[in-house]
């Protein structure tokens, strides 16, 4: 009989052998993933951009320069030099449910990877204790009438390990790790979308406030003009139709205020929710256009760098990687699967005898499973995985195309915004001068009231259009930073630090 020490030595050697199998498990079938190359282009637009945009009077009319290959700061919104905006975004990072959900999804994917890694790359070891009461009938052994009742106690340690000879388990881990990458980039995308939405909403609020103030000012001037016409009517200087026309103009001007105020309320509610607050509880700053500074130097990443910066492109790349790994998983399922197992323990009729010599039991086992016939299931699963990879590849290419479109749209918008603001400023100046001149001529009877009415309407339109053109320069500047990825890869970004938690 082999003594206890020898059995322990053999048991230790068996465990070492099983662990060695984990280290020398064979190759991995299926494709080895490589990220797609960046598009072979060195520009975003079909025609070259100007060195700088057109200029116009005022802070919103400053010319902007495009600086190729310059890095984007993590807190890109700080380039607008608006402290209340910076404070609001940092509050949103802490309170936003979308950011919290993205962080939780990232933690979940990491734990899923750890769970799968521990369950597939290492042997599983289980300790077992058992006690049973049995009754045996001797008829099963050819001895009718012999009946025996007894207790049976056992204690054992069981080890099993599935050799990953063809890499199916490692491909599954590769897919899970790609899922971690995907959730990480989804977190960055959520962070970028939140900050960009807050900036855009703040600029829109500032634009609406400027439009409301301008409209109220114009309505007051028109109302003052109505008072003058009313006195002239009482003295017989003008007809009733002239007074009614001016009343109509005042009413039309004031009728534009409720929609603007409604839009302002909606934007304020949006800002509250983006900051993770209830609209009724949020304490928000009141944004105005003069609180923002227009960035004069605009960093423009190289096209070859865009695919490594945009979170949506990187997330699509991770999805493609995951699909590639699943092809390997489906391929490995068609190959033989080898399982090793061992157990060591003791079995006795009383608890006191379980750990005594002579009660030892052990077993060693190895199994080979070769799929032979599954009705075409395994081949169909492999073809499905390959089709999923092709789908992910097409979606990746679509994401890249849309990303380059976003950047091109933003660059062209900035150029046209500057030209449009310059033209709109000239239109406003002309309408203002025309109104002043027409008012003077009307007082001396040089023009009809209809001419004055038309000049007032034109001036009102140009004032509102000028405010919208000014706001567009700020909003499209923010859109460019978002289209380029937002600079999250710099360590100063709060979301970048969050991914390591």
Which 8-state DSSP code applies to residue 78? G
The answer as to whether 219 is a domain residue is no
For strands 337-348 and 65-68, give the pairing. Answer: unpaired
Confidence (pLDDT) at 491:
58
The answer as to whether 252 is a domain residue is no
Stretch 476-500: mean pLDDT, rounded? 74
The answer as to whether 405 is a domain residue is no
More confidently predicted of 152 and 146: 152
Question: Taking 60 as the threshold, does the pLDDT of residue 17 lie above it?
Answer: no
Stretch 374-384: mean pLDDT, rounded? 91
Question: Taking 50 as the threshold, does the pLDDT of residue 496 lie above it?
Answer: no
Q: Rounded mean pLDDT of the chain? A: 88
Stretch 124-152: mean pLDDT, rounded? 77
Give the tens place of pLDDT for each residue, 186-228.
Answer: 999 999 999 999 999 999 999 999 999 999 999 998 898 889 8
Question: Taking 80 as the threshold, does the pLDDT of residue 432 lie above it?
Answer: yes
Confidence band (pLDDT; 50, 70, 90) for 229?
confident
Give the tens place of pLDDT for each residue, 90-136.
Answer: 999 999 999 999 999 999 999 999 998 888 888 888 888 888 888 77
Stretch 322-334: mean pLDDT, rounded? 93
| Percent helix, strand and coil across the chain, each to the nearest 5 | 60, 10, 25
Expressed as residue numbers, the domain containing 138 is: 1-27+123-163+338-370
**Among 45-54, 340-349, 477-486, which is the least confidently predicted range?**
340-349
The answer as to whether 102 is a domain residue is no
The answer as to whether 12 is a domain residue is yes
Stretch 353-359: mean pLDDT, rounded? 78
The answer as to whether 268 is a domain residue is no
Q: At what angle do helices 377-443 and 449-483 cross, to 10 degrees?
A: 150
The enclosing domain of 362 has a CATH number of: 2.20.200.10
SS3 call for 161 = strand
Count of CB atoms situated within 10 Å of the CB of 199: 26
Question: Taking 60 as the threshold, does the pLDDT of residue 481 lie above it?
Answer: yes
Stretch 370-387: mean pLDDT, rounded? 91
For strands 297-300 and 65-68, give the pairing. Answer: parallel
Confidence (pLDDT) at 147:
65
The answer as to whether 494 is a domain residue is no
Question: Taking 80 as the threshold, does the pLDDT of residue 10 lie above it?
Answer: no
SS3 call for 300 = strand
Count of CB atoms situated within 10 Å of the CB of 421: 26
More confidently predicted of 400 and 25: 400
Question: Taking 50 as the threshold, does the pLDDT of residue 21 lie above it?
Answer: no
Confidence (pLDDT) at 312:
96
Confidence (pLDDT) at 28:
85
* Count: domains in the chain: 1
pTM over 0.95? The answer is no
Confidence (pLDDT) at 400:
97
Confidence band (pLDDT; 50, 70, 90) for 499?
very low
Residue 139, CB half-sphere, CA atoms under 13 Å: how many?
A: 3
**Among 37-51, 121-135, 318-332, which is the least confidently predicted range?**
121-135
Confidence (pLDDT) at 14:
46
Question: Taking 90 as the threshold, does the pLDDT of residue 391 lie above it?
Answer: yes
Confidence (pLDDT) at 130:
87
Confidence band (pLDDT; 50, 70, 90) for 161?
confident
For residues 357 and 496, give the distance between their C-alpha atoms in angstroms, rounded to a whole number: 60
For strands 297-300 and 360-369, give the pairing. Answer: unpaired
Question: Taking 70 as the threshold, does the pLDDT of residue 23 lie above it?
Answer: no
Question: Taking 50 as the threshold, does the pLDDT of residue 367 lie above it?
Answer: yes
The answer as to whether 117 is a domain residue is no
Strand ranges of the sheet holding 337-348, from the earlier edge strand across to the other edge: 124-137, 147-163, 337-348, 360-369
Question: Taking 60 as the threshold, does the pLDDT of residue 498 lie above it?
Answer: no
Confidence (pLDDT) at 16:
44
Stretch 5-30: mean pLDDT, rounded? 53
Q: Two tokens at 20?
A: 């060695």
Question: Taking 50 as the threshold, does the pLDDT of residue 379 lie above it?
Answer: yes
């Amino acid at each position: 009989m082999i003594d206890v020490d020898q059995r322990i030595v053999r048991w230790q050697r068996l465990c070492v052998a099983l662990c060695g199998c984990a280290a020398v498990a064979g190759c991995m079938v299926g494709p080895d993933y490589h990220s797609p190359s960046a598009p072979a282009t060195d520009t975003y637009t079909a025609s070259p951009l100007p060195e700088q945009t057109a200029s116009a009077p005022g802070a919103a009319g400053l010319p902007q320069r495009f600086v190729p290959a310059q890095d984007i700061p993590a807190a890109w919104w700080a380039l607008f030099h608006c402290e209340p905006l910076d404070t609001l975004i940092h509050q949103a990072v802490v309170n936003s449910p979308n950011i919290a959900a993205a962080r939780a999804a990232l933690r979940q994917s990491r734990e899923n990877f750890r769970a799968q890694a521990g369950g597939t790359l290492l042997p599983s070891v289980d300790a077992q204790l058992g006690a049973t009461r049995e009754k045996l009938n001797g008829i099963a052994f050819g001895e009718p009438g012999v009946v025996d009742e007894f207790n049976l106690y056992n204690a054992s340690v069981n080890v099993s390990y599935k050799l990953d000879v063809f890499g199916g388990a490692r491909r599954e881990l590769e897919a899970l790790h790609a899922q971690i990458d995907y959730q990480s980039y989804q977190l960055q995308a959520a962070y970028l979308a939140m900050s960009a939405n807050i900036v855009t909403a703040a600029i829109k609020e500032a634009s609406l406030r400027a439009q409301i103030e301008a409209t109220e000012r114009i309505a007051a001037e028109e109302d003052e003009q109505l008072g003058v016409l009313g006195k002239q009517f009482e003295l017989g200087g003008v007809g009733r139709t002239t007074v009614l026309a001016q009343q109509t103009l005042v009413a039309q001007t004031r009728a534009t205020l409720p929609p603007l105020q409604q839009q302002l309320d909606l934007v304020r509610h949006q800002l509250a929710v983006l900051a993770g607050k209830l609209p009724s509880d949020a304490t928000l700053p009141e944004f105005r256009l003069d609180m923002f500074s227009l960035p004069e130097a605009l960093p423009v990443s190289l096209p070859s760098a865009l695919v490594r910066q945009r979170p949506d492109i990187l997330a699509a790349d991770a999805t493609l990687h995951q699909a590639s790994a699943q092809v390997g998983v489906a391929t490995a399922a068609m190959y033989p699967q080898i399982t090793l197992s061992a157990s060591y323990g003791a079995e006795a009729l009383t608890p006191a005898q379980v750990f005594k010599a002579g009660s030892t039991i052990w077993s060693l086992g190895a199994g080979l499973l070769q799929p032979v016939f599954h009705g075409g299931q395994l081949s169909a699963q492999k073809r499905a995985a390959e089709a999923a990879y092709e789908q992910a590849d097409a979606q990746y290419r679509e994401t890249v195309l849309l990303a380059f479109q976003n950047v091109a749209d933003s660059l062209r918008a900035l150029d046209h915004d500057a030209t449009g603001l310059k033209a709109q400023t000239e239109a406003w100046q002309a309408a203002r001068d025309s109104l002043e001149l027409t008012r003077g001529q009307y007082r001396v009877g040089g023009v009809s009231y209809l001419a004055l009415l038309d000049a007032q309407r034109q001036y009102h339109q140009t004032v509102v259009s000028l405010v919208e053109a000014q706001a567009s320069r700020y909003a499209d500047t923010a859109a460019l930073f978002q289209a380029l990825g937002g600079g999250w890869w710099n360590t100063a970004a709060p979301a970048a630090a969050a991914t390591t938690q």
